[in-house]
Amino acid sequence: MYGAKVEEGAQRAVEGVNITDGPRIIFSPSFAPTVGDIKAKLSCPDVRISAKSTLVIGGSNVSVKSLDLDGALFVHAAPASTVEVNNLVVKNDGWMLEDLKQGEEVPEELKIRGYKLSKNGERIVIVEEAGTTVVSQ
């Protein structure tokens, strides 16, 4: 991903379908409406994301300069805020996709999906105030 080191996950079967697990990387449309925007905001080679990680970024004024992620990180900047992720190391238990067990009682939308999301650990950065915030160690 544009110079970032993103680990690939292991192969496994879910309901008879072979899949490759890997990191879940979610960008809100406000963060990067185009591929060019993603490239501009994540073009640093000093970004590492492990196979078990989840990265969620929202807000148009977020940039990632240096990040070592092994777990879950949620970053959101309000419209008047700027967030710069720089020299940040995040290690936690992260968010896991757990396969449903046969006969498990769950809502219909989870039955259709075949898994549920378990949030076991996370770092949350939400910046509402105007100005620039640098998120680091």
CB-count burial class (<10 Å; 0-12, 13-18, 19+) for 131: exposed
pLDDT averaged over every residue in the chain: 90
pTM over 0.85: yes
**What one-character DSSP code corresponds to residue 135?**
E
Instruction: Decide if pLDDT at 43 tops 70.
Output: no
pLDDT score recorded for residue 84: 94
Question: Which residues have C-beta within 8 Å of that of residue 13, sequence separation ≥ 6?
Answer: 19
Q: Which domains does the chain have, with CATH numbers?
A: 5-135 (2.160.10.30)
On the question of pLDDT at 1 being above 70, the answer is no
**Contact, 21 vs 65, CB < 8 A?**
no
